């Protein structure tokens, strides 16, 4: 016989809002299992009964606490060994819905972020939005011609993938130089960049990459794409004049959508270095490629890319 979690039990009780029937031994046993912990956490009193109007406040309190503890994907309790085993024994999920309630929760940051992760916190930040397993930033931080000029930060919405990327930092000798954060960029980007600027006493955003993001092909899912008006507006506020934003994809429709949004929502603030909207950069201007880019080019397939450069127009 399966066991109900606390949240499942609460949802059943909320649905029925009646006294637990004695004729249902499974539900009786599930309630008996969780009742002591609920009493200890003051979520119900010794005399409270699960029926009628008396239950509503307690049940919603339990649901809220359960959502707080069970539904936040960014709570990182995994050890490096846990992450290594996960990466060996299962494939990472390829797609998530960034609009799902749990992915709308702010990420959990270390109290000392970013200073404990960067040896020279005042350096400009090289930001990779949607970094995946982190291969691009690991390569750039190691081999990039101007790598010494930056600290590196990768954002990844899939928590287990972000954990795996972070586990690779020490192996590449990049502690104090590179960090990965599991988060939804459309929720946390402004907060992260604001904290980086404040906590590092003036650290700026130096360069941005958005490479091969989840295409969310279906028309009804286009709203899930990472580049939207809010993201462009956030980058406008945090990018100083001359900061470059590289966007690229192997899906033309996805690339064109990103490009149009930067042109439309960033008009006057970002300049596309390729003026003709029907043309693209033929070569990667950074000199370091992502795993996806390498794979696509090896198949002799096109990659669509361009660079936007922040103008000196002051954000309102």
Peptide bond into 114 cis (omega under 30): yes
Residues paired with residue 239 on neighbouring β-strands, in sequence order: 205
Using one digit for the tens of pLDDT, what is the confidence trace for 104-162?
999 999 899 999 999 999 999 999 999 999 999 999 999 999 999 999 999 999 999 99
pLDDT of 100 over the 80 cut: yes
Q: Which residues pair with 247 in a beta bridge?
A: 210, 306
Give 51's pLDDT tier (boundaries 50, 70, 90). very low
Sorting pLDDT into bands at 50, 70 and 90, what band is 95? confident
Percentage of the chain lying above the pLDDT 70 cut: 71
Segment holding 165, helix H or strand E? helix 159-167
Q: What per-residue confidence (pLDDT) applies to 88?
A: 47
- What is the pLDDT, as a whole number, of residue 316? 80
Q: Which of 38-42, 188-192, 243-247 has the lowest mean pLDDT?
A: 38-42
- Name the more confident of 214 and 87: 214
Which residues in 30-140 belong to E strands, given as ranges?
125-129
Stretch 37-58: mean pLDDT: 44
Q: How confident is the model at residue 246 (pLDDT cuts 50, 70, 90)?
A: very high
Looking at residue 103, the DSSP 8-state letter turns out to be: G
Q: Which residues contact 270 (CB under 8 A, 6 or more apart)?
A: 232, 235, 236, 245, 262, 263, 308, 309, 310, 311
pLDDT at 54: 43
Q: Could you say which of 146, 148, 149, 214 is catalytic?
A: 214
Residue 258 in this model has a pLDDT that exceeds 50:
yes
What pLDDT shows up at residue 74? 64
The pLDDT, as a whole number, for residue 66 is 45
Q: How far apart are CA 306 and CA 284, in angstroms?
A: 9
Report pLDDT for 55: 42
Q: At residue 308, does pLDDT exceed 70?
A: yes
Residue in 262, 254, 250, 252 with CA at minimum distance from that of residue 208? 262
Residue 170 has pLDDT above 90, yes or no: yes
Nearest to 126 by CA among 237, 206, 201, 231: 206
149: annotated active-site residue: no
């Amino acid at each position: 016989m399966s066991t109900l979690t606390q949240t499942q039990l609460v949802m059943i009780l909320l649905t029925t809002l009646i006294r637990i029937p004695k004729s249902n031994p499974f539900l009786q046993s599930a309630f008996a299992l969780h009742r002591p912990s609920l009493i200890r956490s003051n979520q119900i009193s010794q005399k409270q009964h699960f029926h009628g109007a008396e239950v509503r406040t307690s049940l919603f309190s339990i649901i809220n606490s359960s959502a707080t503890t069970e539904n936040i994907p960014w709570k990182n309790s995994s050890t490096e060994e846990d992450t290594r085993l996960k990466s060996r024994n299962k494939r990472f999920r390829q797609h998530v819905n960034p609009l799902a309630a749990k992915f709308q929760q702010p990420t959990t940051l270390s109290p000392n972020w970013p200073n404990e992760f960067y040896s020279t916190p005042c350096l400009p930040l090289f930001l990779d939005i949607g970094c995946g397993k982190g291969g691009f930033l690991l390569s750039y931080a190691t081999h990039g011609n101007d790598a010494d000029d930056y600290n590196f930060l990768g954002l990844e919405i899939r928590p287990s993938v972000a954990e795996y990327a972070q586990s690779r930092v020490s192996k590449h000798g990049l502690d104090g130089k590179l960090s990965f954060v599991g988060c939804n960029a459309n929720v946390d980007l402004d907060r992260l960049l604001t904290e980086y600027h404040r906590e590092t006493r003036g650290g700026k955003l130096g360069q941005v990459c958005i490479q091969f993001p989840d295409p969310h092909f279906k028309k009804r899912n286009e709203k899930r794409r990472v580049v939207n008006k809010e993201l462009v507006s956030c980058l406008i506020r945090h990018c100083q004049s001359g900061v470059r934003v590289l966007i690229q994809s192997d899906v033309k429709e996805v690339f064109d959508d990103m490009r149009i949004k930067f042109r439309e929502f960033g008009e006057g603030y970002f300049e596309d270095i390729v003026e003709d909207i029907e043309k693209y950069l033929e070569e990667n201007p950074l000199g370091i490629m992502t795993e996806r880019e390498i794979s696509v080019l090896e198949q002799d397939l096109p990659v669509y890319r361009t660079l936007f450069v922040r103008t000196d127009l002051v954000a309102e």
